[in-house]
Every structure is written in C-alpha cells, then in structure tokens.
Amino acid sequence: MLRKHIYFVGIGGIGMSALARYFKAKGFCVAGYDRVSSVLTRELEQEGISIHYVDDVAMIPEAYRKPDDTVVVYTPAVPSDMSEMTWFRDHNFVIQKRSQILGEITRMQKGLCVSGTHGKTTTSTMLSHLLHNSSVQCNAFLGGISKNFSKNLLLSDESDLVVIEADEYDHSFLTLSPYMAVVTAVDADHLDIYGTVEAYRAGFEEFTSLIRPDGVLLMKEGLPIHPRLQKGVTHYSYSVDKGDFHAENIRIGKGEIVFDFVTPKEVIKDIQLGVPVYVNIENGVAAMSIAWLNGVRPDELREGMKSFRGVKRRFDFHIKSDKIVFLDDYAHHPNELKSSIESIRRLYADRRLTVVFQPHLYTRTRDLADDFAKVLSTADELMLLDIYPAREQPIPGVNSQMLLDKVELKNKRLISKQDLVKSVDERAYDVLLMVGAGDLDLLIPEMEQKFRKKYNI
C-alpha cells in the first residue's frame, strides 16, 4: 500500500538506500532516519532526501506526519522500541518491512530473485551487469555497491525485469513473487531466527513455492532441499562442472580464468572472468544462466563477464603486486570463508597467506564455532578481531578467545583494530586477506596507504 510520502527508518542500509533512491526516482517524496551518518546517507542527502540521525519524533518532517499520506518502511535491524517506530504505531501509520515493499515491486514487474546463504550479492550484481550492458536491460536492487556502477540501484524505462537479492534473514524473501529465482546455497545460518537447520532449509523450500507459474527455478546441483514448485515452473540445475548449466574447459593461469559456458542448447566458448577468483566461476554460471534465459546474446555474455569489476567488499583487491597482495572479502559464514581462502590459494599457491577475521554476531559465532575454526586453521597465519555485535547483545562465554582456542594453527593471535593498522609498519606480509561483515572495511584506506608508502607502490 504505497502513499505519496515514504519514510524510511534505517535509510542508510544498503538495501534501504536502494529503495529510497528507487522511489525518489519514481516521483515519490522520500525522507528518513538512520543512527549514523555514512557515505551512503550523505549521497542520499545530496540527491535531495532529508535524513536525520537522532531518534526524536520532533525531527520527523511535517509532511511525513500524516497517517493517510505516508507509508513507513523499516528494516528488521531497527529496534522495535525506538521512539519514532513507537510513535508511528501509536498513530496508526501503515508500516511495512523493506521486504514487503520489494514484494510489491516483484508483483508489478518480473522479479529475478537471487537467494542463498552465500554468493547472492556477487551473483545478483553480475546478473544485473550482464542485463544492463545488453539489449535486454533491467532494473536492480543490489545488496552491495557495484564497482562498475558505483551504486546499488539500476533503473530502466525499457525493461520490466528487476533483479533482487532475496535475503532469507527474518524470512524476508517469503514476501517476494519471483518470475525467476536462484538458490545458490542452503548452508545453515541465522539459527537465531530459524532455530534449526531443518527449519532454515524449509524456508528455502517455501521460497521456491512462490515462483510464478510461468517462471523458472535455477538451483545449484545437489542442494539438500526439495523445491515446492507450482505447475508450469521450469526447474534447471547448475554448478561449476555439472548440471543443466555449467563450465567446462576451465583454464587458470597468469592471473586469468577462462572457461566455456555450457547451456541446454549451446556452448558459449571463452568466457573470461573480470574478477578472476575460482568461486566466481560458479557465481558466473548462475548469473549467465538467468541472463541467457532472458535473451542475452552470447557475445553480450562474453563481453559482460569480461568487463565485470566486482562488488565492493567481495574479493575486493586493493593492491596486487609482487611485494604485497592486499584484499578484503565480506565472508561471514564458514563456507563463504572456505571459498574465499581456497580461491586465494588457487591464485597465490606459493605465497604466505595471512587472514584477518572479524566474526559477525555472537549467535553465529556460537552456533558455527567449530566450522569457523576448521576453516581458519587452513591459513598460514590468523589474526582475530573481537566479534562485531551488529544487532545483538553479548552472550556469556562467546568471544573471540573462545574461537581462537579452537583454531589448530601455530601462528594465531587476537589483535585490536589499532594494533592491526600499526602492524603494517612493524612487520612483513605477503598476501593479506581481511574478511568479515562488520566494520573491518573502515581500516582499509589507512592500511592501503601504509602499504603503498612502505613498498613504494
């Protein structure tokens, strides 16, 4: 139920900011609140969106204080007892989650919805890039900042396709009505919400039941779920090396990855990855499959994959040299972390890998500690930061020392953010991978500057 005025609570989030931009571009009046000022919120303000940073009802603009003319959109990360949300509820405003608004958009347009425990941000951004740079075109709500477009929203007046990252947190993806859906992985996560692995996987099964009867499910080969498809939905499988869509003749060397893309009807030769890490073969296969099913030509696929520059904080290389390789990745689940480390190992097999890891959420660290420890033990050296709490309160006995004790690695230690930055001057690194979904990225500019000065790069 949309109104002329839309007020976003938590407007600075990556998904919320994209929605705010979308409705601003469509002629709606947009304003909002966020707890902190950021690059994203400052960009929104420059685009004419009013934002304030104090939870104070008096600061809500007058035009957004009328229940019959304003819809309030919020993110689950916002505390339910904040004063502005309480005021909106007490005054009978229409209040919707971000996911509910996305659901309305998928019912107005053809939603290409990418879901999964991991891989969904890169895959959906790749898909958007392929469509946007082809004759097909698309709209897109991205879960990260595309390095090609330097933004998280794409708009097109020529296409009714809309790419959406379908987030399973808080059951958000169950509000969508996909035209085509991708399921990349169903490794257990968000157990604070779902409770059990079985319930988590059941959520994805329910998601598949929402695909329109004329639509498509593209699911990674071998996932332990049973899709619940409406009559008329076409089901395809994919993976790196098997399924209806897959790669073959994979060539890795000299900092490049090239392969042939196999579809049910043709083989498209010599696909070169613009971001040459091994995990992007599978992400690329998924993205190209949906693009191909929507009419993107082989030459457009080939050019689009080659020109893709990635997503900020997803295998984001800041320095590549013989002296130092410095990159960061958003990985915050054990299997994401495993893919990240393995991909770097393939590229730099003969070099020493130091991993800096910032655990994300107390519940995730508690529930998956053994799996995290096993993966982190595959590094040459580990430097572990404190847990980033995000929306959570501390849990007794759950901390980074607990996780470190489980890691079977000689060269391991806890480190503060301040000492991590200092270490650039005090010691030598070969390949430094920083991983986590918290605020670790805020250290990158200073560390990169120090590395470039130290090695005269």
Q: How far apart are CA 340 and CA 194, in angstroms?
A: 26
3-state SS, residue 260: strand
pTM score: 0.76
**Is the domain of 276 the same as that of 358?**
no
Cα torsion 145, 146, 149, 154: sign: negative
| 12 assigned to some structural domain | yes
For 322-388, where are the E strands, in sequence order?
325-329, 353-358, 381-384
**Is the domain of 223 the same as that of 290?**
yes
The pLDDT tens digits for 394-430 are 999 999 999 999 999 999 999 999 999 999 989 999 9
Q: Which of 260, 278, 307 lies at the terminal end of a domain, its last residue?
A: 307
| 22 assigned to some structural domain | yes
Would you state the pLDDT for residue 161?
A: 97
Q: How far apart are CA 412 and CA 429, in angstroms?
A: 14
**Is the domain of 376 the same as that of 274?**
no
Q: Which of 285, 307, 329 lies at the terminal end of a domain, its last residue?
A: 307
**Is the domain of 153 the same as that of 298?**
yes
Tell me, what CATH number does 57's domain have?
3.40.50.720
Contacts of 376 (CB under 8 A, 6+ apart): 337, 355, 357, 382, 384, 403, 407, 409, 412
| 103 assigned to some structural domain | no
Q: How far apart are CA 288 and CA 264, in angstroms?
A: 13
Would you state the pLDDT for residue 336?
A: 86
The pLDDT tens digits for 57-106 are 999 999 999 999 999 999 877 888 899 999 999 999 999 988 899 998 99
For 11-60, where are the E strands, in sequence order?
29-33, 50-52
Would you state the pLDDT for residue 253?
A: 80
Q: How far apart are CA 147 and CA 311, in angstroms?
A: 5
Report which of 220, 217, 173 is spatially closest to residue 194, judged by C-alpha positions: 173
| 23 assigned to some structural domain | yes
**Is the domain of 206 the same as that of 265?**
yes
Mean pLDDT, range 215-220, rounded to an integer: 98
Q: Residue 339's pLDDT band (boundaries 50, 70, 90)?
A: confident
Kindly state the tokens that stand for 20.
């705010």
Would you state the pLDDT for residue 152?
A: 81
Is residue 119 pLDDT above 70, yes or no? yes
| 394 assigned to some structural domain | yes
Tell me, what CATH number does 193's domain have?
3.40.1190.10
Tell me, what CATH number does 377's domain have?
3.90.190.20
Residues 430 and 455: beta-carbon distance below 8 Å: no
**Is the domain of 279 the same as that of 300?**
yes
The pLDDT tens digits for 123-140 are 999 999 999 999 999 999
**Is the domain of 15 the same as that of 68?**
yes
**Is the domain of 149 the same as that of 172?**
yes
Q: Which of 97, 128, 154 lies at the terminal end of a domain, its last residue?
A: 97
Domain carrying residue 153:
109-307
Mean pLDDT, range 26-33, rounded to an integer: 94
Is residue 254 pLDDT above 80, yes or no? no
Q: Residue 250's pLDDT band (boundaries 50, 70, 90)?
A: very high
Is residue 144 pLDDT above 90, yes or no? no
**Is the domain of 300 the same as that of 158?**
yes
Burial class (CB in 10 A: 0-12, 13-18, 19+), 296: buried
Kindly state the tokens that stand for 156.
């097109």
Would you state the pLDDT for residue 173?
A: 93
Is residue 190 pLDDT above 80, yes or no? no
Q: Residue 347's pLDDT band (boundaries 50, 70, 90)?
A: confident
| 61 assigned to some structural domain | yes
Q: How far apart are CA 44 and CA 9, in angstroms?
A: 14
| 104 assigned to some structural domain | no
| 369 assigned to some structural domain | yes
Give the strand pairing for 246-253 and 256-262: antiparallel
**Is the domain of 123 the same as that of 63?**
no
Number of domains forming the structure of the chain:
3
**Is the domain of 215 the same as that of 244?**
yes
Would you state the pLDDT for residue 1?
A: 59
Q: How far apart are CA 115 and CA 121, in angstroms?
A: 9
**Is the domain of 65 the same as that of 214?**
no
